[in-house]
Structure 1
Amino acid sequence: MPADLAYDDPSSDVLLDPATGVRRSILPGGVRLLTQRDRSVRSATIGLWLPVGSRDETPAHAGSTHVLEHLLFKGTRRRSAMDIAAAFDEVGGDSNAVTAKEHTLYYGRVRSSDLPMAVDVLTDMITASVLAEDALATEREVILEELAMAEDDPGDIGYETFLADVLGPDTPIGRPVGGTAGSVEALTIEDVRDHFAEHYRPDNLVVTAVGDLDHEELAGMLQAGLRRGGWELAADAVPERRPRAAHPGPASAGLLTAPADVASLTPHRLSRPTEQNHIYLGGHGLTALSEDRHALSVLMSILGGGMSSRLFQNIREERGLAYSVYSFSAGYRDAGLFGMYAACRPGRTTQVVELLAEELSRMGEQGIDELELARAKGQITGSFALGLEDTSSRMGRLGTIELVHGRYTSVDETLARIGAVGIGDVSALASRLASSFSTRVEVGPDS
């Protein structure tokens, strides 16, 4: 059966990739399970994904997804917080969670013989957490310290401010994932429980696992764990699905002409007692589903993806104007951004900003050469291949495929798409982005 059909048939149980053993099933309750069996390792990594993130919150409940993620580690009807922590520690395993803008992930990495324990603990957490008011009171203070720590880091606060300015500080996707100190302090336990009840359900759950495991055995363990926690797994339930993104390219609002106007772009300044000025410059980019996303990866590699990149060579190696300089991008269902970062002494800020903008503009106007293209493709494909040596990376890839793309893409197909990117693709995209500058953020000392 072609891989695409696995996503159209809700009753599917399909071997998506015979070459690598990737399999996908829809379990009772609408739970989606994707696995990759690897007998060359003695471990397994499992992730439980919920397609709910900070962008799904109301303004009044900003930060509730992140708070809920923390509280799920604070005890269930069968386990204390210490029981949850000790379960992984005593077998030398690892467990943690991530809250993002469009998903929440709970994961564990253990020896394959300890996988039943990991499944039991993680399913217990997402189905039967107590969500006690006293736990919220304590964990709220921990989260406020986490937010304060980010405020103390010029890189963290600069990036969050840049992201909010590009995507819109008053939009769900533009708000900080962790909320603000004010919104976290205002959250009640009823708010958190309502959030849990709305989103934590079988038809919203995706489970991905890679390692020395058996698909059928894992499916059985999952169903047993979810039922033990009180979830009803209806045989005829189908997965909940979100609409696919509809905007494949960079947004067009508020465009500037680069590089001439960039130096005069009013910066959003955040005063901090630092020795350097931390600069973020960029604008709207590509969505996660854009057909140009592979060209963007190549572009970012050439522009600022390593020690041989243009920004590193021009700004650091040739001119000595910065120690840290790079480019970056982020894509979501219906939005995206691109940017460049550099940290320098305040007196060099204007020159560095102009050089950042000029380098991207030059890529659009003059193009790139074959050597740069080959080097970038080698960096991307090599890094991609090395990442797949790790079961955690492969687990994460399966989750992204299911939640973001809705279509399985083999490693060979991904590598082929990167290999198909041409000089013209990169130059055309560079030209588009170079005329999309809209945001400049600086974190540093008062002048």
Structure 2
Amino acid sequence: MRDPILLPLDLPELAVDLSGGDVRRTVHPSGLRVLTERMPASRSVSIGFWVGVGSRDEQAERSDAPGSLGSTHFLEHLLFKGTPTRDAYEIATGFDRIGAEHNALTAKEYTCYYAKVRDADFEQAVTSLADMVTNSVLDTNEFETERGVILEELAMAADDLADVANERFFEEVFGDHPLGRPIGGNAETILAANRDDVDRHYHHRYDPSTLVITAAGAVDHDRLVALALAALDASHEERWRTNVSRVPVRRATAEVVENAVPVCSSQRVVKVDRPSEQINLLLGTNGLPTGDPRRFAFGIMNSVLGGGMSSRLFQEIREKRGLAYTAYSFGASYTDAGLFGIYAGSAPEKTAAVLEVSKNELARMAADGITEEEFERSLGQIAGSSALALEDSDTRMGRLARAELGTGELYDLDASLERFEAVTAEEITSVASMLAESPLTVVAVGDVAKAVIPEQ
């Protein structure tokens, strides 16, 4: 079985062939890490500036300041709003002029600023992203304008009842732990936010030791490293200088142990009343962390249970009984914790039946496992979807970053598929049993007065 490519933080240079692409990695003494994957015949490149800081890290900034919550998402917006050499309009027109796809995202464990451009515009994209990340002025007027924009974004999410159910589900499963908080904050925290808290977050958390730059497609590794180092040294902020030696930061085991995620110890049912024709229903419990060796068995189990139109949940809930239009299962993994869930949207009078079928299918898999035909079908689904995803430079760029920021192990497609193929029937049953025997949380959002939702 092929081993993953290890990414030790004390290894200055690495060059390997990965799934047909040339992968290179540089760890600079400043703490900056640059990873690239050159894709033959590509005429575009995806570039990401990843900071290993997410919404779960906000508590450590200043626990007595309510405005510190939501700082990660607030900062993501503000970095598009101007530097000493570019205002917000110039940043926007600079990307539009070259036809770039550009945006940013905030997650629970990282933040990313990215662009996808044609090969001829690679240097301009790198320069613009670097300027945004290292030189944001966090203008006071722009701060207030963006407060309104974020409040509208949150209001838009609040109108999507599936989003409401998802946020509440995370909150119930993870409890008071930072992983349970909404990534974007809420109206209360955004209204309480102030520029000083966001600026403190920016200056305390953003520096070369937390920055990972990845690119995939038509990329020249050495040129990207040179551009990145020049941009950091040209920053108006002293903390970005590359002549200072720093230890690169990867989420530490000690931090994980000290900030352990609580495990759900009791079953609960949460009902959120909202005007709606459907009940958005989520059922689940704690799952597997990112590096858990059982994750490959979970992948097979999840595929069979609720991973596609031939899955057990889809067939039983939609195709055979007509209880819902959509039904699926999923997992979310973080450094020290995970979450497993089943989602369905159904009419209120069908909610009890959907819950019963979902629990029964999970229990049946825990008791009886899966068939050989289901195993082969899930392998084909995973192999095919993975291969298709890797045709996209965005996927490859993200794969590099998540390996670097997460486990420090980079799997190519073949190494990953070998591990799925090696999963045993007993391992699948064991994972399903662990989930089925755990206290289950139910979240229902909609016109819950019309629904029959058993109290477990």
Give TM-score, length-normalised by structure 2: 0.92
CA contact (8 A) 1:28 1:235 kept: yes
1:384 corresponds in structure 2 to: 386
Taking the aligned partners of 2:333 and 2:268, their CA distance within structure 1 comes to 25
2:27 corresponds in structure 1 to: 26
Taking the aligned partners of 2:9 and 2:140, their CA distance within structure 1 comes to 42
CA contact (8 A) 2:37 2:217 kept: yes
The Cα offsets for residues 177-196 of structure 1, whole Å up to 9 and x where unpaired, read as 01111111111111111000
Task: Report the alpha carbon displacement of residue 253 of structure 1 after superposing the two structures with TM.
Answer: 4.5
The Cα offsets for residues 203-236 of structure 1, whole Å up to 9 and x where unpaired, read as 1110110111111111111111121223210264
Alignment of 1:388-399 (within 5 A): 388-399=390-401
Task: Report the alpha carbon displacement of residue 398 of structure 1 after superposing the two structures with TM.
Answer: 0.4
2:312 corresponds in structure 1 to: 310
1:51 has 2:52 as partner: yes
Secondary structure at 1:178 match in 2 = coil
Unmatched 5+ stretches in structure 1: 256-264
1:206 corresponds in structure 2 to: 212
Taking the aligned partners of 1:229 and 1:325, their CA distance within structure 2 comes to 49
Secondary structure at 1:29 match in 2 = coil
* Distance 1:319-1:6 versus aligned 2 partners, 3 A rule: closer
The Cα offsets for residues 125-152 of structure 1, whole Å up to 9 and x where unpaired, read as 0111110111110000000011111111
2:173 corresponds in structure 1 to: 166
Alignment of 1:200-349 (within 5 A): 200-230=206-236, 231-234=240-243, 236-244=245-253, 253-254=264-265, 266-349=268-351
1:423 corresponds in structure 2 to: 425
The Cα offsets for residues 268-293 of structure 1, whole Å up to 9 and x where unpaired, read as 11111101111100111111111011
* Distance 1:5-1:337 versus aligned 2 partners, 3 A rule: closer
Secondary structure at 2:370 match in 1 = coil
1:260 corresponds in structure 2 to: none
1:262 corresponds in structure 2 to: none
Taking the aligned partners of 2:4 and 2:261, their CA distance within structure 1 comes to 29
1:40 corresponds in structure 2 to: 41
Task: Report the alpha carbon displacement of residue 17 of structure 1 after superposing the two structures with TM.
Answer: 3.1
The letter for the 1-side match of 2:13 is: D
CA contact (8 A) 2:10 2:27 kept: no
The letter for the 1-side match of 2:35 is: L
Task: Report the alpha carbon displacement of residue 4 of structure 1 after superposing the two structures with TM.
Answer: 5.9
Task: Report the alpha carbon displacement of residue 359 of structure 1 after superposing the two structures with TM.
Answer: 0.2
CA contact (8 A) 1:64 1:187 kept: yes
Taking the aligned partners of 1:3 and 1:314, their CA distance within structure 2 comes to 38
The Cα offsets for residues 360-381 of structure 1, whole Å up to 9 and x where unpaired, read as 0000101110000111111111
2:203 corresponds in structure 1 to: 197
CA contact (8 A) 1:97 1:105 kept: yes
The Cα offsets for residues 366-413 of structure 1, whole Å up to 9 and x where unpaired, read as 111000011111111110110000000000000011011112222221
Taking the aligned partners of 2:336 and 2:153, their CA distance within structure 1 comes to 28
Secondary structure at 1:139 match in 2 = helix
1:124 has 2:131 as partner: yes
* Distance 1:288-1:246 versus aligned 2 partners, 3 A rule: farther
1:72 corresponds in structure 2 to: 79
Select which of 77, 90, 95 maps to 1:88.
95
Unmatched 5+ stretches in structure 2: 451-456
Task: Report the alpha carbon displacement of residue 419 of structure 1 after superposing the two structures with TM.
Answer: 1.4
Secondary structure at 1:17 match in 2 = strand
CA contact (8 A) 2:5 2:410 kept: yes
Taking the aligned partners of 1:3 and 1:375, their CA distance within structure 2 comes to 25
CA contact (8 A) 1:77 1:129 kept: yes
Task: Report the alpha carbon displacement of residue 9 of structure 1 after superposing the two structures with TM.
Answer: 2.4
1:107 has 2:92 as partner: no
The letter for the 2-side match of 1:444 is: G
Taking the aligned partners of 2:257 and 2:305, their CA distance within structure 1 comes to 27
Secondary structure at 1:30 match in 2 = coil
Taking the aligned partners of 1:345 and 1:253, their CA distance within structure 2 comes to 28
Task: Report the alpha carbon displacement of residue 250 of structure 1 after superposing the two structures with TM.
Answer: 11
Q: Which moved more, 1:125-134 or 1:410-419?
A: 410-419
1:433 corresponds in structure 2 to: 435
